[in-house]
């Protein structure tokens, strides 16, 4: 747009026109949220079945029409260039072929079901038998080449998941390297040039188990497809007209996903592009407790890039984390005890049944319990409070102090994060006290007015607040 303005108004005037206009830059890391685990698994399952089962059927020259189980769905494969697959989600109605059984219909069924004249039924069956004969007698007919292109793209997409390489880098992988990897027990990496990293040569691990097995299967199918033709790229595809073999297109996913989605998924199901696949691999490696340097090295980027752009959990992971977190927060309501509970000692945040012996009640807590501080008392095994005005006053005084600290602009991000969790737990306890009865609800409201409107605090928290003021925190 800036260049167009220069052409229209000249460089000098264009500079004044565009001055102060904010440049919006594309963030190449933005690829949406990581899908639910079930969606990821189902997509991988469909791709794996198309790669393994379809490639085997093509190499065995399975006669059309034939049935394969793809992603848990019966799929009828037909000898046609357009819409060669019929599934429950997207049927290809062919009058002469019963896609439920993947067999030819009889003349009688065509006459009775489709109300065809007998001669018309005979002619249609004659035509489809000719089509089937031509396709079944030629292992490399256009219909099989169309299906072979689908299987080749499915294999390529699986190796994006395995290696976390981009489609552009995948198209650079060398065939001879692929052969070496399957024969050499030590080398298990493919190389590509990462252009956005100043031409740095990057290596992508295939893996000794699943990846190596899949690579061997792919090389066998690739050899069947090329029929001795020499092509330097490891991953290949069909050219225009399906009559030639070329290196894999860098944009192969733009044709693969619509074909797969329409057949096996709901229309709203989103694709998992290479960049998102890299995020998924990063999250999985972190979840199985690989160190940050290892994960960064596997994905060929820096630790900073991994933390900033590749460490977001999946939707399922977020749900689990939030579920665990709120379960722990709500459990704080169990800290409310009856006033007649014996053996407890009054402290600044409530009561304690074993003073000077702090013990964390959870493994991962933001503030460790230390009796001298009393900021971490709510995370201690020995902490309790009473649903009365005295302890409510203590809790609300503590809440006032931490909210005051969090509100100031000089508070560090760490302080804000630590106090945010404590504030949430305080709110949960106070809410639980208020919900006990109409009396306690009125009592909580009265103490809130006393603390947050009148500014009265307990002596301990008043002293702590003044200390923060002297330190320049407030």
> pLDDT digit string (tens) for 19-61?
656 565 544 444 456 677 678 788 889 999 999 999 999 999 9
Rounded distance, CA 386 to CA 337, Å?
5
Other residues' Cβ atoms within 10 Å of the Cβ of residue 27: 8
Tell me the average pLDDT across 388-411.
83
Helix (H, G, I), strand (E, B) or coil at 49: helix
Contact 190, 204 (CB under 8 A): yes
Rounded distance, CA 232 to CA 96, Å?
43
pLDDT digits (tens, 9 = 90+) for 270-288: 888 777 777 766 655 555 4
Tell me the average pLDDT across 91-99.
90
- pLDDT for 288 equals 43
Q: Is the pLDDT of residue 196 over 80?
A: no
Rounded distance, CA 288 to CA 295, Å?
11
Q: Is the pLDDT of residue 472 over 70?
A: no
Rounded distance, CA 96 to CA 132, Å?
12
Among 54-58, 124-128, 179-183, where is mean pLDDT lowest? 179-183
Contact 153, 237 (CB under 8 A): yes
Among 7-16, 135-144, 187-196, 317-326, which range has the highest average pLDDT? 135-144
How much is the pTM? 0.62
- pLDDT for 178 equals 81
Which residues touch 62 (CB under 8 Å, ≥6 apart)?
77
Residue 147 structure tokens: 């299906």
Rounded distance, CA 324 to CA 417, Å?
18
pLDDT digits (tens, 9 = 90+) for 324-347: 545 555 666 666 766 555 578 889
Contact 304, 296 (CB under 8 A): no
């Amino acid at each position: 747009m800036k260049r167009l303005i220069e052409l229209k108004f000249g460089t000098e005037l264009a500079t004044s026109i565009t001055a102060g206009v904010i440049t919006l830059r594309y963030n190449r890391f933005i690829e949406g949220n990581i899908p639910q685990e079930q969606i990821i698994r189902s997509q991988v399952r469909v791709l794996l079945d198309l790669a393994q089962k379809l490639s085997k059927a093509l190499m065995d020259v399975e006669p059309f029409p034939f049935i394969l189980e793809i992603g848990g769905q019966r799929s009828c494969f037909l000898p046609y260039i357009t819409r060669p697959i019929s599934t429950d989600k997207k049927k290809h109605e062919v009058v002469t072929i019963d896609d439920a059984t993947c067999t030819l219909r009889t003349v009688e069924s065509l006459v009775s079901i489709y109300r065809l004249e007998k001669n018309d039924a005979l002619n249609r069956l004659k035509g489809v038998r000719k089509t089937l004969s031509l396709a079944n007698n030629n292992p490399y007919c256009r219909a099989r080449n169309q299906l072979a292109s689908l299987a080749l793209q499915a294999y390529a997409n699986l190796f994006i998941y395995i290696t976390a390489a981009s489609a552009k880098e995948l198209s650079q992988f060398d065939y001879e390297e692929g052969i070496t990897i399957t024969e050499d027990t030590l080398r298990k990496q493919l190389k590509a040039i990462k252009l956005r990293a100043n031409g740095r040569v990057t290596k992508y691990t295939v893996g000794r188990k699943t990846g190596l097995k899949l690579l061997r299967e792919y090389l066998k199918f690739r050899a069947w497809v090329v029929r001795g033709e020499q092509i330097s790229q490891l991953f290949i595809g069909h050219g225009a007209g399906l009559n030639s073999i070329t290196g894999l297109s860098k944009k192969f996913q733009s044709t693969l996903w619509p074909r797969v989605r329409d057949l096996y998924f709901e229309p709203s199901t989103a694709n998992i592009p290479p960049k998102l696949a890299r995020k998924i691999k990063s999250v999985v490696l972190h979840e199985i407790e690989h160190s940050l340097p290892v994960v960064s090295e596997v994905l060929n980027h820096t630790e900073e890039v991994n933390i900033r752009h590749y460490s977001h959990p999946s939707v399922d992971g977020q749900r689990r984390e939030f579920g665990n977190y709120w379960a722990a927060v709500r459990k704080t309501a169990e800290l409310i005890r009856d006033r007649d509970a014996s053996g407890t000692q009054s402290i600044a945040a409530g009561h304690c049944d074993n003073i000077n012996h702090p013990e964390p009640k959870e493994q991962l807590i933001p503030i460790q319990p230390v009796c001298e501080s009393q900021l971490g008392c709510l995370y201690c095994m020995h902490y309790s409070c009473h649903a009365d005005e005295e302890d409510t006053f203590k809790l609300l005084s503590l809440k006032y102090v931490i909210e005051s600290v969090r509100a100031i602009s000089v508070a560090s991000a760490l302080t804000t994060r630590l106090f945010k969790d404590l504030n949430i737990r305080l709110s949960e306890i106070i809410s639980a006290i208020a919900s006990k009865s109409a009396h306690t609800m009125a009592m909580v409201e009265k103490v809130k007015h006393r603390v947050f409107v009148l500014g009265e605090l307990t002596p301990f928290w008043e002293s702590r607040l003044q200390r923060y003021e002297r330190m320049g925190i407030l």
